[in-house]
Amino acid sequence: MSDLGSEELEEEGETDLGEYEGERNEAGERHGHGRARLPNGDTYEGSYEHGKRHGQGIYKFKNGARYTGEYVKNKKHGQGIFIYPDGSRYEGEWVDDLRQGHGVYYYVNNDTYTGEWFAHQRHGQGTYFYAETGSKYVGTWVNGQQEGAAEIIHLNHRYQGKFSNKNPMGPGKYVFDIGCEQHGEYRVTDAERVEEEEEEESVITAVPKWKAIKITELALWTPTLAEEPPPTDVPGQEETPAAEARGELGEEAQPPADLSDGEADFMRPGEEDADNFREEGEYGREEFRFDNIDQQGNVGFEEDDPRQSDPPD
């Protein structure tokens, strides 16, 4: 898994106290500021309260990982920074030893996620930036996966629609910087059968395909202004049509209902832009790829299975 926790990075509990130098209360408990070297080789320096890590502290794991932040009764709770053994790090809120609340995760491949977390997973509104391509996903996450309304922003175009189980699904549109929009929807038109060698079972994987419906001119948003009294006639002044002043199109300018093969090739997204964006976590990466539109205006969307190894907890 990519960033789902550090189950292998469990901190030593108060039952294995190890060596300690610092303040104590009348009952002999660690209380106040102190420094401890734990039996497993980890070290902690910071505040204690009644024998437990409580307040600001720095916990260093023997494998190179480090947590700097707030503790409540031996658990990471509040604001904190966790640097993982591979160099990735999380800066943000913690609740009962879990990433929860708002935080930023910096991955080893320079990708970043900024947004909401719940129970160690990306959950809520968040933005994932893909450093290799410059693309970013802005939208909703559920249990670590892209789910719900979102926007994929590329260098010279973007896709707006909904996602389901990490894949775009249903109506959406591509918005191009050259001044047009391609409307359509992602449909599950066929399926791929994947053979499982170990289990000797076949798995049918639904593959959403892009079906273009129409191409229109770019829809510009124009704010609604309060009506103003007509100006006093000035001799020699020529009135400018409001639509022309705002750059709007006249009623006679209708969007093209269909395109020739050559025009469709010109408008198709992703062929020269390498619309590949991926997500790599601590120990794996997730890759998404929008395939080129074919001659019928269809765009293929593929998802590569994440290549992951066991992460530290």
pLDDT value of position 202: 54
CATH number belonging to the domain at 18-85, selected among 2.20.110.10, 3.90.180.10, 2.30.130.60, 3.40.50.150: 2.20.110.10
What are the pLDDT digits (tens) for 237-261? 333 333 333 333 333 333 444 443 4
Place of tokens 């994987």: 205
- The upper half-sphere exposure of residue 206, i.e. CA atoms within 13 Å in the direction of its Cβ, equals 11
Domain locations along the chain? 18-85
Tell how strand 43-49 and strand 98-106 pair up: unpaired
d(CA 212, CA 125): 28
Give whole-number Cα distances, 214 to 20, 195, 218, 251, 260, in Å. Answer: 71, 37, 12, 19, 12
Give whole-number Cα distances, 195 to 93, 129, 199, 307, in Å. Answer: 42, 33, 9, 18
pLDDT value of position 207: 79
pTM (global) more than 0.85: no
DSSP 17: -
Torsion angle of C-alpha atoms 186, 305, 85, 116, degrees rounded to 10: 20
Mean pLDDT of 193-218: 70
Q: 313 or 41, which is more confident?
A: 41
What are the pLDDT digits (tens) for 90-143? 999 999 999 999 999 999 999 999 999 999 999 999 999 999 999 999 999 999
Q: By the 8 A CB rule, do 216 and 180 touch? A: yes
What are the pLDDT digits (tens) for 136-145? 999 999 999 9
Average pLDDT, the chain: 74
Helical segments of the chain, H only: 242-246, 261-267
pLDDT value of position 250: 36
